[in-house]
Structure 1
Amino acid sequence: MTLSTRNLTSKAKLGMREDKIQANNDLERRIMDAFEVFDHSAKQVVDVREVGTILRSLGCCPTEAEVQEVILATENKEVTGNVPLHTFLPYMCKAMIEHRFYPASAEMLLAAFRYFDSEGRGYLTKERFTKLMLEEGEPFTQEEFDEMMQTALDPVTDTITYEYYINQLMVAQKDVYEIADVVEEERKRTEVPQQKRKRAQSLLRSTTNM
């Protein structure tokens, strides 16, 4: 095996690409921005352990099983343990256009918080919230929880004022899915003329061949 062939093979195994991927629309740009925060080598590759955090930073709300599903679909098949952008980007674009991992509505979140706020105080204590997130149901990882607390916790009262927290979540979550909807609408608008042109060209060719 020549040196150049060896280099190419090595790059393929590491999930690297000679040509760096460029964003074609706002949705791709948003996904790439979230991905690049965790691309510590600047080679458009992230550790599989960062995938859940990337999804949540985009405003997605996947279960742990769904995070594993994304990893399974996008992980480097040659060398496991990392996810290259060239597989992650198209997968996530499709997922977000289909509204997968879509967050619960503000009404549902408010009802859930009120259920645990049995005294109707409008907030949960840090201790209560920590127990709910880390010990009950499908628990968050410590890293995910710490990231969430940066937005959820009121540093003055040391509590989670949940209506304010929900409002913060809705702003971040709706934004990226709205971008996905705009991108899909634009794709549909450009696809129709292309289909008509192909049909016209096909008719002309069939007429010419007669």
Structure 2
Amino acid sequence: MSEKNSEEGKENAENLTDEIGRKIADAFDVFDHDSNKTVDVREIPNIIRSLGCCPSEAEMQDIILEIDEDDSNGYIRYEKFRPIMTKILMERKYRPATEDRILKAFQVLDTDNKAYLTQDELKEYMTKEGDAFNQDEMDEMLSAAVDPEKGYILYKEYAALMTVEDT
């Protein structure tokens, strides 16, 4: 590799790191209500998700434990959060599922191939399997997922709605 290409590569990496750092700082600041570079530990999942990461609940707890390794009395300092979040974003960990993957998951649940799920079917799957939804989460999902005219979930349309553009 030429010296010029090597320098350009370093510059691109620095620009990416700077951009990620700004995103992290901006997201953290939204939840830093006292402007003292700390946030309530309960806000960490919101910050992480606002940065486009979708870890499972178990993965989220692991991240929080890594950040909060020295009992912080319920608050997380920015200087502890930034390096861990930078690493997660640089490694592109916990990326959201693609539309195709979401659609395939719904198709697995639709054993009759009817191109929709009823509210009761979805409630059954989402509250009894895997990382089970609580009632508030289920209500929120149904409010977005249920077709108001038909009363059930047209999952192809919902999968498109759930998809986040990769940044």
Q: TM-score, normalised by structure 1?
A: 0.58
RMSD: 2.9
Cα gap change, 1:59 to 1:157, in 2 (>3 Å) = farther
Do the aligned partners of 1:53 and 1:144 also contact (CA within 8 Å) in 2? Answer: no
Counterpart code for 1:128: E
Q: 1:85 aligns with which of 57, 74, 78?
A: 78
What displacement does 1:166 show? Answer: 2.3
Q: 1:60 aligns with which of 53, 64, 73?
A: 53
What is the alpha-carbon distance in structure 1 between the residues aligned to residue 140 and residue 81 of structure 2? 22
Give the aligned partner of residue 186 of structure 1. Answer: none
Q: Which runs of 5+ in 2 are unaligned?
A: 1-16
Q: How many matched pairs? A: 151
Q: Which runs of 5+ in 1 are unaligned?
A: 1-23, 176-210
What is the alpha-carbon distance in structure 2 between the residues aligned to residue 152 and residue 30 of structure 1? 29
Report the 3-state secondary structure (helix = DSSP H, G, I; strand = E; otherwise coil) of the residue aligned with 1:159.
Answer: coil
Do the aligned partners of 2:67 and 2:80 also contact (CA within 8 Å) in 1? Answer: yes
Report the 3-state secondary structure (helix = DSSP H, G, I; strand = E; otherwise coil) of the residue aligned with 1:120.
Answer: coil
Report the 3-state secondary structure (helix = DSSP H, G, I; strand = E; otherwise coil) of the residue aligned with 2:163.
Answer: helix
**Identical-residue share of aligned pairs (%):** 39
Report the 3-state secondary structure (helix = DSSP H, G, I; strand = E; otherwise coil) of the residue aligned with 2:164.
Answer: helix
Cα gap change, 1:128 to 1:26, in 2 (>3 Å) = farther
Where do residues 1-210 of structure 1 align in structure 2 (5 Å cutoff)? Answer: 25-75=18-68, 77=70, 79-142=72-135, 144-145=137-138, 148-149=141-142, 151-172=144-165, 174-175=166-167
Larger radius of gyration: 1
Report the 3-state secondary structure (helix = DSSP H, G, I; strand = E; otherwise coil) of the residue aligned with 1:123.
Answer: coil
Cα gap change, 1:126 to 1:85, in 2 (>3 Å) = farther
Q: TM-score, normalised by structure 2?
A: 0.69
